[in-house]
A and B are shown apart, each in its own frame.
Chain A
Amino acid sequence: MTDGADGGDAGGAERVAMDTLADGEEAVVSACPSRKAREMGLAPGVQVRMMRSRRSELAVVVAVADARFMVSRAVARQILVARGVGAARQPSAAKRG
């Protein structure tokens, strides 16, 4: 499922695995090795918002534009996102439970 794709420079922002984002946190995808994920919209340069991430759960829910994706942690861990690039916490987002 992986074939490597890096969005390159994330403007000096902190690059972290997507599954480490907190609920409601926004970031921009900087690298996505999963081709299917890229084709579904999780491509470098795209803004994502974490809708739900719990350590006890094996999948996370992310928002990409108007779509919501359930992404298994194995894939989410491979997707690198740049924190703080045009990202702002959503006031209405769920609190971590």
Chain B
Amino acid sequence: MTTVALVGNPNTGKTTLFNRLTGARGRVGNWSGVTVESAEAVSTLRGQRMRVVDLPGIYSLSTHTLDEQVAHDFIVGKHPDRVINIVDASNLERSLYLTMQLVDLGVPLVVVLNLGDVAARRGIRIDAEGLERLLGVPVVATVASRGRGLHALKHLLARTADDAGEPPASRPRPGEVCQRSDGAVCDDSPEGVERRQQCVRALLAKVLRREGPRHERFSDRVDRVLISRWAGIPVFLAVMYAIFWITVRATQPLVGFVDRVAQLFLVDGLRHLLQAWRLPELAVAVLCDGVGTGAVAVASFAPPIFAIFLCLGVLEESGYMTRAAFVMDRMLRLIGLPGKAFIPLLVGFGCTVPAILSTRTLEERRDRVMTMLLTPFMSCGARLPVYTLFALAFFDKRGNAVVFTLYVTGVALAILSGLLLRCTILKGEGGAYILELPTYQRPSLWCCLRHAWFNLRSFVVRAGQVIILIALALTLLRAAGDAWARRAAEPGAGQPRRELSETVGRALAPAFAPMGIERENWLAVIGLLTGVLAKESVIGTLDVFYSQHEREQFEASGGTAADEPFSLRGGLAAAFRQLAVDYGLAAADDAEAAGGAGLVGSLRRHFKTGAAAFAYLLFVLIYSPCLAALAVLGREAGWRWMWFSVGYQTLLAWVGATVFYQAATFSQDPARASFWLGVAGVIVLAGVVGLVVKGRRGGLVPDRADGRGA
């Protein structure tokens, strides 16, 4: 099978072309660093199967950053049968340097002149035939986003697939404009770079014509406002608040709506159906109370997660993301990071995994490690449903402020942690950098919706798997527990045995008592444990556990479930009525206003006070990143840094939650509060001293996973 590699500068439309050629759905965006790993897909072009590989954007074959290393290694080490070099027709001067390097290297090259529409708008005319003649390689003009020129490209690829194995030495060389004096392949000396730049200028003089003077661009005019001193930060904060408002406030009624509808179909409706089919009670319990309840929890966090990825997609597509990095440059310098590091941090509000991968665009290893450690402090989309449901249960009208406070707390802790690390084990200044500012563009609604949909699907699948596994395990454990209980009830038997989850939960609960989790609320501890698998599963686990636990208690007290007739129509009508009420389109009746049913009610019953609930949320915000994030962190930064992150964040979470809870309840029991505040103070002091000592011994930076220099 022929291998085709797509290579080019960042933001020239490589992934768009990749998606068009292969039908894949790779993520696209208007900023440098969207693609940090190679992606591949198999495509059949005119009857020929081809493996198409989308490489991270690079400016040259040098290896300043990890993503550049990936692209370089593939082209130089894997010898693809065909290299498609996508160049930006609207910015040919920048793009051709890499082209010249590829030509020098003698790889079987096809040059794709993309973004021809943008070039035309700017009055740039390129003689593609002249370029083809001068470079000595085929040149195809395309507008990948609209599918223009793809037919010609596919035709060319299919036609040239047969001679793909031809040795590079026999390929034509660009002799007319760029005669190499020494015959060396890919000369990387300063003179080599200069010679190549001269070649580029000579080429441009022959093939590029500009109609009319170079006008000030729309992006330049917008930038004069958006990155100015007086408007930069206010605009940035306004954008952040708008995202927060849309994801939290605007979707809150939808959370309730989806919850009710999902409950109607996946729990009540399913139970009604299974009981009608006379399935065994255990099967009904597994499917309805376990899988069904878990699925309801997963479904209920779909609206905020979809909204946050939609907002981030708009931000990325528009080109504002890089401007935000400029605006935040000064603040990040305070903690010894370059402004460029802001992009991974911003991506962290969506999901920590791609955020950690985005750090590959940073040149200095120290900057990468520091950014990777701080990224989990940004509240990812998976934590949002936890905040939203607790806010709904405990803080009512102050819910928005509480959720916003959690977001701000995460950012503040990232800054404090950055300062601490900068002064101890990650000493140094943020590295020097150059970052291209893409032109602003109107975000494509379709692209943003697709981006949000794929992220949502990934969240749902991941969380769903965890929750369903937990539900199945829980139900089986319960069945085993019931069997033991029956045996214990027989004459002469000892103490009844507990389920494993209960044993673990009760054993760990005392450690969480200082942050307000009572021993009887051991279920909340289990929620935190499963949250390490995937943060989304905190709510799912609580929902499954609380509903089963409360049903058991109800049955143990001799109660029987009310035989309320199931009505799909009535349930749907009630859900829509409540949605209208929540959006202010209808008046609430007293019963609706009282609320308190479902998970919200369970949370109120188990946490008892707002202080305990907020302390729990603080812990969820700060403690160990999820398994997927840890795996990526271990791979990218090294396993020692991964364990450091787990220990540091979990300890900080405990200290933060304990300090908050004890301070909030100080007046109730000053002696107890003083004791725990003292313990927290000692832990902080010991941690700081430990980091200082470690820092004096040289820190942890030499432990590297990527083998690159710091």
User: Which A positions have Cβ atoms within 8 angstroms of B?
Assistant: 1, 3-5, 7, 34-46, 51-52, 54, 56-59, 61, 63-72, 74-75, 90, 92-94, 97
A59 to B431, CA, bound (A): 12
Would you call B194 an interface residue if the criterion is a C-beta within 8 Å of the partner chain's C-beta atoms? yes
Task: Given the known inter-chain contacts A52-B223, A58-B329, A65-B94, please indicate yes or no for A70 contacting B62, CB distance below 8 A.
Answer: no
Would you call B227 an interface residue if the criterion is a C-beta within 8 Å of the partner chain's C-beta atoms? yes
B661, chain A: closest CB distance, angstroms: 39
Does B339 contact A70, Cβ atoms closer than 8 Å?
yes
- Give every chain B residue within 8 A of A39 (Cβ-Cβ): 59-60, 62, 97, 193
Does B437 contact A68, Cβ atoms closer than 8 Å?
yes
Does B229 contact A59, Cβ atoms closer than 8 Å?
no
A44, chain B: closest CB distance, angstroms: 6
Does A74 contact B228, Cβ atoms closer than 8 Å?
no
Interface residues on B, range: 35 or more
Task: Given the known inter-chain contacts A1-B432, A39-B62, A57-B330, please indicate yes or no for A69 contacting B437, CB distance below 8 A.
Answer: yes
A89, chain B: closest CB distance, angstroms: 13
A93 to B229, CA, bound (A): 16
Selected contact of A40 from candidates B227, B230, B330, B434, CB within 8 Å: B434
Does A72 contact B436, Cβ atoms closer than 8 Å?
no
Does A68 contact B64, Cβ atoms closer than 8 Å?
no
Does A40 contact B433, Cβ atoms closer than 8 Å?
no
A54 to B363, CA, bound (A): 24
Q: Which of B91, B190, B219, B228 has the most CB of A within 10 A?
A: B190
Task: Given the known inter-chain contacts A37-B434, A97-B229, please indicate yes or no for A43 contacting B194, CB distance below 8 A.
Answer: yes
Does B190 contact A69, Cβ atoms closer than 8 Å?
no
- Give every chain A residue within 8 A of B91 (Cβ-Cβ): 65-67
Q: What are 7 residue pairs bridging A and B, where the CB atoms are less than 8 Å apart in the complex?
A: A38-B190, A40-B94, A56-B229, A61-B437, A66-B91, A72-B434, A97-B230
Does B329 contact A57, Cβ atoms closer than 8 Å?
yes
- Give every chain A residue within 8 A of B329 (Cβ-Cβ): 57-59, 72
Task: Given the known inter-chain contacts A61-B223, A64-B94, please indicate yes or no for A1 contacting B62, CB distance below 8 A.
Answer: no
Task: Given the known inter-chain contacts A61-B227, A92-B216, A97-B228, please indicate yes or no for A70 contacting B326, CB distance below 8 A.
Answer: yes
Does A35 contact B62, Cβ atoms closer than 8 Å?
yes
Would you call B450 an interface residue if the criterion is a C-beta within 8 Å of the partner chain's C-beta atoms? no
Does B93 contact A45, Cβ atoms closer than 8 Å?
no
- Closest residue on chain A to residue B330 by CB atoms: A58
Does B326 contact A66, Cβ atoms closer than 8 Å?
no
Does B229 contact A90, Cβ atoms closer than 8 Å?
no
Task: Given the known inter-chain contacts A57-B330, A64-B93, please indicate yes or no for A36 contacting B59, CB distance below 8 A.
Answer: yes
Selected contact of B59 from candidates A40, A61, A66, A68, CB within 8 Å: A40
Contacting residues of chain B (58-116) with chain A, CB-CB under 8 angstroms? 59-60, 62, 64, 90-91, 93-94, 97
A8, chain B: closest CB distance, angstroms: 10
- Closest residue on chain A to residue B118 by CB atoms: A66
A5, chain B: closest CB distance, angstroms: 4
A1 to B710, CA, bound (A): 11
Does A70 contact B322, Cβ atoms closer than 8 Å?
yes
A94 to B197, CA, bound (A): 30
- Give every chain A residue within 8 A of B432 (Cβ-Cβ): 1, 34, 72, 74-75
> Per-position contact with A for B298-332: 1 when CB-CB < 8 Å, else 0?
00000000000000000000000010011001100
A68 to B438, CA, bound (A): 7
Would you call B201 an interface residue if the criterion is a C-beta within 8 Å of the partner chain's C-beta atoms? yes
- Give every chain B residue within 8 A of A3 (Cβ-Cβ): 190
B597, chain A: closest CB distance, angstroms: 52
Task: Given the known inter-chain contacts A4-B190, A5-B194, A70-B325, please indicate yes or no for A40 contacting B228, CB distance below 8 A.
Answer: no
A34 to B435, CA, bound (A): 14
